Amino acid sequence: MASQVERAERFLELHEAGSPLLMPNAWDVGSARLLASLGFQALATTSSGHAATLGRLDGSVARDEVLEHCAALVAAADLPVSADLESGFGETPDEVAETVRLAAATGLAGCSVEDATALPDEPIRPVEAAAERVIAAAEAAHGGPVRLVLTARAENHVHGRSDLPDTIDRLQRYQAAGADVLFAPGVVAPEDLRRLVAEVDVPVSVLTFPGCPTVAEMAAIGVSRVSVGGAFAFAALGAMVAAAEELRDQGTLGFLTGARAGGRAARAAFGP
């Protein structure tokens, strides 16, 4: 198995503009092993998908639970794993740095920290405070025995603030603060992505979203990474709901076709 140092180095190398890393988000050990068996080169956690496995909504999982989850996914597959650390589980830069240090100890290759607050009246942090948190996170990510790949996230567009100039300004500040990868979930229009990619000098990650360009189109724009967030986790839940409703409402068994395909995938992924 590759060492944590090797996985972190490999993870950063996989971020190539024009040939984006396809990085699916696993929500438990089984999904991590299955995705690894399908040939993906790196995995990420998903805060919303993980919360769903606990019967909770996104944002309701404690830091200790997230760190335990990270360690389990790292152990599940010999691949780089990057963790969604939400807003860093702390208000101060020092608290964010401590979260990153604890995350590094789980064996991760990377992690992300966002500028959202979880406050409905003020969902996005002031940019100066957000940049200070990225500085602290970068120092923690890069200052230990393993140089974690730090992704800084500007959350404007998923909180109803479709202000591309402000988003770009934030990403530029986060780049200057030491982020290795930049991420603005919700920015999907090709012309916006072109502008964003052109205005920064480090790899850009894109979250798949309704209206998002195809992978080939994102490659042509210069995107370096494509993430699915919680989409795979909720696609799995959606398939289960459809199967349950078919059985309950129609009494038919068409869902067994999908179940057989899932069973074959599980046997291939989990077998010796």
Section 66-89 average pLDDT: 98
pLDDT of the residue at 185: 98
**Angle ∠(71,76,77) on CA atoms, nearest 5:** 115
11 Cβ contact partners less than 8 Å away, ≥ 6 residues apart: 42, 80, 82, 109, 110, 149
- Whether residue 76 is predicted with pLDDT greater than 90 in this model: the reply is yes
pLDDT of the residue at 205: 98
* Residue range 204-222, pLDDT digits in tens: 999 999 999 999 999 999 9
pLDDT of the residue at 1: 75
171 Cβ contact partners less than 8 Å away, ≥ 6 residues apart: 152, 154, 182, 184, 196, 199, 200
Q: How confident is the model at residue 225 (pLDDT cuts 50, 70, 90)?
A: very high
Q: How confident is the model at residue 153 (pLDDT cuts 50, 70, 90)?
A: very high
What is the average pLDDT score of the chain? Answer: 97
Q: To the nearest whole percent, how much of the chain has pLDDT over 70? A: 100
Distance CA 80, CA 73 (A): 10
Section 64-74 average pLDDT: 98
Distance CA 220, CA 17 (A): 9
Give this prediction's pTM. 0.97
Is 190:223 a contact under the CB 8 Å cutoff? no
Q: How confident is the model at residue 3 (pLDDT cuts 50, 70, 90)?
A: very high
If DSSP states are collapsed to H, E and C, what string results for the chain? CCCHHHHHHHHHHCCCCCCCEEECEECCHHHHHHHHHCCCCCEEECHHHHHHHCCCCCCCCCHHHHHHHHHHHHHHCCCCEEEECCCCCCCCHHHHHHHHHHHHCCCCCEEEEECECCCCCCCECCHHHHHHHHHHHHHHHHHCCCCCEEEEECCHHHCCCCCHHHHHHHHHHHHHCCCCEEECCCCCCHHHHHHHHHCCCCCEEEECCCCCCCHHHHHHHCCCEEECCCHHHHHHHHHHHHHHHHHHHHCCCCHHHHHHHHHHHHHHHHCC
Section 82-96 average pLDDT: 97
pLDDT of the residue at 149: 98
Section 82-108 average pLDDT: 98
Residue whose C-alpha is closest to residue 42's, from 202, 149, 185? 149
Q: Identify any residues that bridge with 153 across adjacent strands, giving them in sequence order.
A: 114, 183
Top-level class of domain 4-229: alpha beta
- Whether residue 176 is predicted with pLDDT greater than 90 in this model: the reply is yes
* Residue range 257-268, pLDDT digits in tens: 999 999 999 999
Section 36-46 average pLDDT: 98
Distance CA 44, CA 79 (A): 10
pLDDT of the residue at 272: 82
Strands 225-227 and 21-23: parallel
